[in-house]
Every structure is written in structure tokens, then in C-alpha cells.
Structure 1
């Protein structure tokens, strides 16, 4: 059975932290691929600052150089708020020959008790947690921990930097940085 990593998020914008997490988990867990699944409207956050097409384009630009990374638009196609349970059920139905590993940061590990039907979700998918500055991976749930180099980057920090006209060189892939500049994203 093929082992596939799932990295969900708003990716507004995607950055090197996302790519590092995906690659480190892929190697540690011996995954065939990692699928990046951008949310349409995240259930636990405000709406994205850019539209779905812009986020998909940036994510494709960010992942294009790695043959083990794929962009899956299942949640964008459904539109509205997406719950991980609904996404995993649909993926398991579409790809019954694959075993899925859902990758989350330590901030989300702490939030797991608040997830929609979390017990049912754990029966369907393997969780992989990665460390994040300021958070611990303490949980009663079965989450496999993968150590990754600590890079304290967040999309919200990058949006602020971009609004302040601060450089994001070396924090987002060059192709994403060019796209952001050409399309005047995150300027206000």
C-alpha cells in the first residue's frame, strides 16, 4: 500500500517552512509523496487574504521542483469550510489503495481536542506531528513525532512583512516571491 503524506493549510503564502516540513516527514516516514491540500475556508481561521486560484498557483510554483510533492485541490473544489474528517473520507474513497499520513504542526497537536469528530478521524488516518516554536507535542492522541530543523516562519508573519514592504527573500521560493510581486499580493 502506498504511503501518502497530507499537508493541509491555507498556504497564504506557501513558504520554505511548509516545504521543509513536507520533505523531512516524507523522508522520516518513507512516504511515496506528500500532497499539499489548500483549504478553501479554514474552519479555525479567518478567510484567506488571497483567493483560491492565487493560493493554488503559489503552491504549485513552490512545489514544482520536487517530484514527490503534489498539489491536490479537493478542498478548494468543495468550497466552503473544510473539515479534515470530510477530506480524509473522500480521499480514502477515491484512493482506497493508499494509506494516508496527516501532517500537523505542534500548534495543531495542542488543538486536537477541539477538532471536528477527532475520534472518528483518528480511526481513519495516521497523524504525524512536527515541532513548532513555543508549542509542545503533548497529547493523549496517537501522533507520531518527527523532528525537523526549527524554522520559525508563519504565513501571517510573511503577510505582515509584505505589507510593510520588507523582503521575504530566502523565506519563500523565488518563483513564489516573483508571483507575489507581479500580482501585488499582500500589499494592504
Structure 2
């Protein structure tokens, strides 16, 4: 059986250590050999990223150039329609076959609001969910029904993630990295340094492109 392959979606406006270091810790915890980053296509009715699609992709490429764990998949950016995670996973499942262990990485904040996602109950039929801790978010689900759903799917057995194609939820013990893209953009707008929050190559690019200026 092929090794567990994980996917991680985000706006990446910009990509930062909260993304990279958290996922690297998760990879160490559950034995991931590869994580594919999936930059989101933001639908027209949502607040648009400050960086363009091309700039967001360029920043991801710079951030992962010296991090062999990561690869980049831009399929969601090539759609005219909003990117629904379940549809991307259906596409990847069709490409990889029914036996390939697949996992989708989310934060605790996303787990707590997962019931609001498009066709959310089909996600575990397509993949495992690997949940990273987020500062300030509850570990318990918002309703007893959702907590029972989590309890049914949660596993404490790492090897099961590698042996089954999907269907399990892993609550990771990843470090709390208190960095957000919103904070970085705000600091930049205020003329404050962000050198310790994201890779130097990404900061250089942001400066060259004149992004997130005061």
C-alpha cells in the first residue's frame, strides 16, 4: 500500500511559520513523507486576498524551496468556481485510486465549524482528517451530536492512518504557533517587522512586490 499522503489547503496570504512549522511537527508525529499545499481559490463573495493568485503561488514556492516535505498543487486556483474541499478530494481520490491513504490537514478552528462546510459529512469517506491545535480554540465540539460524530471517527493509532484509505480523525499534539496571516498583514500595514514570522525569502518577495504596505 502507498504511504499516507496529506493535503493542506489555505489562502496563504501570505504563507508563514504558523503553516509550515505546525505541519512539519504534524508530519513528524504521524510519519508523513509528503504534504501537498493547495492554495484556495477565494469565491467572489468573500473578502479577496491582498496578494494576487500569482503572488500567493510565488510565496508558497519560495517558502517550500528548501523544505522537501512540501509540494504544491494549484488545481483549485485553475477553477472558475469556488473551491470546495470535498470536490477537490473527490478528484484526488479518483486520481490516486480507492486504496491510497489520503489525509486532509485542518486546524482545530476548522474542525469546530466543519458542519458548515459543503457536504462535510462526505469528507471522512474520502480521507482522514488530521487536526492541528490552534491557540484559543476549544477541544470539545459545539454540540453533543457533533461530539459523538468526532468520537466515532477519532483514532489514537497512528498505523491505522497508514493502513486505511480514510475515515479516521487524528487530533494532533502539534505546538501552538501563535502566528496568523491577518496578524502579519496588520503588522506590515503598521510598518512593523515580521522577520520572525515567515521565511526570509517570502519577506524579500513581499518587499519586492510592495505587498501589505502601510
The alignment covers a number of residue pairs equal to: 188
Say whether 1:100 aligns with 2:85: no
Correspondences of 1:96-175 after superposition (within 5 Å)? 96=97, 98-139=100-141, 140=147, 141=150, 142=153, 143-175=169-201
Deviation for aligned residue 1:148: 1.4
Deviations 1:8-62 (A, max 9, x none): 0000000011001211111112112001100011699522111111000000111
Give the number of the structure whose alpha-carbon radius of gyration is greater: 2
Between 1:57-66 and 1:135-144, the stretch displaced more is: 135-144
Q: Which structure has the highest strand share of the two?
A: 1
Stretches of 4+ moved more than 6 A in 1? none
The Cα RMSD (Å) is 1.7
Partner of 2:8: 7
* TM-score, normalising length: structure 1: 0.94
Any gaps of 5 or more consecutive residues in structure 2?
A: 142-146, 154-168
Q: CA deviation at 1:2?
A: 2.2
Q: Deviations over 1:120-148 (max 9, x none)?
A: 11211100111111102323333311111
Query: For residues 100 and 152 of structure 1, do their structure 2 counterparts lie closer, same or farther at Cα, with a shift above 3 Å needed?
Result: same
Residue segments in structure 1 that go unaligned for 5+ positions in a row: none
Task: Name the SS of the counterpart of 2:4 in structure 1.
Answer: strand
How far the C-alpha of 1:98 sits from its partner, in A, is: 3.2
- The TM-score normalised by the length of structure 2 is 0.83
* Shift in Å, 1:72: 0.8
> Is the contact between residue 109 and residue 138 of structure 1 (CA under 8 Å) also seen in structure 2?
no
Which one has a larger percent helix, Structure 1 or Structure 2?
Answer: 2
